[in-house]
Amino acid sequence: MADSTILDTLHDDILRILQLCHIHTASIAVRCLAGPSEHRTYKLPELRCATPDEQKTLGYKVSGEEDISFLIASITKVLVAIAFTMMTVDEDTNLDVQNKRNKFNEAQWGSMGLTAIYNKHKKDSSKPDMVDLPGDPSISHLLSHFKGMPSSNHRLFAPDGSALMTKEDVVPYAQELNNLRAKQGVKSNGWTQYSNLNYALIGMAIEALWDGTLSDFMDSTLFRPLGIGNSTTIGYEANPGILRAGRYVVDSQGTLHSINAPNYASSGAEAAALGGYSCIKDLDKIFTNILQRFATPSPDEKTFAAVIEKQSNRQTEDIEYSRLGLFTPGLDSPTIGSMSTNQLMFPDKKFATYLVAPHSKKRIETYHHAGSAIGCGCAYSLLPHKDADKAFSVVVLTNTSGPVDASDHILRLILRRIHSMMTSSGTLTNLKLKFDGPEDIMKMVIKAWDASSKVYKRFEEEDAAMGLDISTDISGTYKLRGFPQHLEIRPINGRPHITFHGSARSSEQLRLAWLSSSVVRICVPESGEPHISIDRLGNGEWANLEFQVKMNNGRVVALVRKTNLSDDWFEWELCQQVV
């Protein structure tokens, strides 16, 4: 297998998927531990806007370029989990680092929960203590989403994807959520629920244990030791020299738009959830290091592989997570692809849920995760094995979001090829794929586009609607009850526009449309660009873009939005609390 050229063999199919999904740039890395890595980048010329017909005339430039950095969104969690685990299993001759490592080992192997660890080690004693979290989860629990806090992306982000929350907001928000859960009588026993907030809490614990910033921790424990130079967890403002991909979105008609998507610039710890940027060269180095660790036999229970395997052995009724991302029992698992926007939009449709290896008779262990944001789609799978010929990693990064997540389909296409190589005696050059389960992947992509573009068209029509002509003055500043975020509404060209303000940054100005005299709706696109955040899809936390308008003596005094957790009350700053 060391001589296999997977990307060469799949070149035409990959190119076809990129064309069908109207992707601007994609970088792909495939690594077999027994041989060299394959790197391939597909890129259209730089452009501002192009219709599908115009895209056909441009053509992709194909190269071995490997240093272009992409937003990797939730795959940031994987890198943070790897770095934390390295701190608990590796040794270091540097006394200062070893002293820090001892604290990480206490956090990993001791009986203290994350709350106690943070409160014990936080550098600034004047900062408020972290409250007890439900079920007193350890860092291991939070890393694998086994216990912790519910997902709260409506506080982390504005509906256009702008980041609002900084690390200073995390502790008071954890307190608010604890109080809310107590009032609702939510049980605090073990559960498995994916949560970005869990990793913000982990980031805070890491900064306390490291006695420094999350960025320095990642640089010192992961990036610099592996010779990584194009990756960051704090955004490009601090690393302007990094070669980065542009950001593009696709509308329901397949037109490609270059956008000025909000570049994430973190305050530190909260970036552990999804603040990372990386390239296929860097990710290949990281995942090759992990494959080597799995392939190296050792009786020590504290090896990297042993720690990860212990986390994956517990039994739950829900999707099972590990400390490397989403854990699946094998390539025949329906979990592969579950983190993509494809399954978020269509969780029950075959074109979004088809298996990589249906009816597989041989279990092939796989770690999988995906990330999505405006102008971003990425996915990775890690197939560890003690036999280097059977140890693989695959990374797919794209700089385009739209109706169909191409990174998900390309990843599954490559995994199918790997599965066939690992379970067949044939060679790659003469091997013919035969599956009695799903149809051809290309047909799945076409069906996905047909269905998803209709959903996007509905969103675009909703956002283009002007709404009712209601004269009620809604202008002003509205403060979120109990949390340091606020809304600012002011008229532009006679129409109300809303801006979300948080500690991290502010959103774009988004238009408001009156649906009735008591309901207004946020229109996400700005300047005509189809900004559709992942949190708006499916049952995402910005799927509801409507505010109930509360009046008092002819004046709007509050805007109330229902969320998955509770009602968010935004109160006009000059009024008293509305009951």
Write the CATH number for 524.
2.40.128.50
Q: Is residue 269 part of a domain?
A: no
Integer Cα distance of 386 and 274 in angstroms: 31
**Confidence band of 252 (pLDDT split at 50, 70, 90):** very high
pLDDT surpassing 60 at residue 436: no
What's the confidence (pLDDT) of residue 439?
Answer: 57
* Same domain as 179, residue 327: no
Residues in Cβ contact with 126 at an 8 Å cutoff, skipping those fewer than 6 apart: none
Mean pLDDT within 243-251: 89
**26 backbone dihedrals φ, ψ, rounded to 5°:** -140, 135
Q: Is residue 302 part of a domain?
A: no
Residue where a domain terminates, one of 227, 242, 257: 242
* Same domain as 131, residue 83: yes
**449 backbone dihedrals φ, ψ, rounded to 5°:** -65, -45
Question: What is the residue-averaged pLDDT of the chain?
Answer: 85
Domain region containing 510: 476-572
Count of residues making up the chain: 579
Name the burial class of residue 243, with classes exposed (0-12), middle (13-18) and buried (19+) by CB atoms within 10 angstroms of its CB: exposed
* Same domain as 490, residue 424: no
Mean pLDDT within 424-443: 53
What's the confidence (pLDDT) of residue 186?
Answer: 64
Residues in Cβ contact with 152 at an 8 Å cutoff, skipping those fewer than 6 apart: 173, 177, 195, 196, 197, 541, 565
Q: Is residue 403 part of a domain?
A: yes
pLDDT tens digits along 110-149? 778 899 999 999 887 777 888 888 788 888 888 888 888 8
Residue where a domain terminates, one of 242, 273, 291: 242
pLDDT tens digits along 302-340? 777 777 766 554 545 455 677 776 667 678 888 888 889
As a whole number of Å, the CA-based R_g of the chain is: 24
Residue where a domain terminates, one of 242, 260, 284: 242
* Same domain as 212, residue 84: yes
pLDDT surpassing 50 at residue 579: no
Overall number of domains in the chain: 3
* Same domain as 488, residue 399: no
* Same domain as 50, residue 160: no
Q: Is residue 414 part of a domain?
A: yes
Q: Bridge-partner residues for 496, per DSSP? A: 491
Strand order, beta sheet including 49-50: 49-50, 256-258, 248-250, 400-401
Q: What's the pTM?
A: 0.92
* Same domain as 87, residue 170: yes
Q: Is residue 515 part of a domain?
A: yes
Q: Tally the C-alpha atoms within 13 A of residue 520's C-alpha that lie toward its C-beta.
A: 26
Percent of the chain with pLDDT over 90: 48
pLDDT surpassing 90 at residue 577: no
Q: Is residue 195 part of a domain?
A: yes
* Same domain as 439, residue 405: yes
* Same domain as 82, residue 63: no
Q: Is residue 80 part of a domain?
A: yes
pLDDT tens digits along 186-208? 665 555 678 888 898 999 999 99
Integer Cα distance of 6 and 381 in angstroms: 15
Q: Is residue 249 part of a domain?
A: no
* Same domain as 116, residue 50: no
* Same domain as 132, residue 209: yes
What's the confidence (pLDDT) of residue 437?
Answer: 39
* Same domain as 48, residue 122: no
Integer Cα distance of 441 and 445 in angstroms: 6
Integer Cα distance of 17 and 21 in angstroms: 6
Integer Cα distance of 115 and 130 in angstroms: 6
In this structure, the number of other CB atoms found within 10 A of the CB of residue 555 comes to: 14
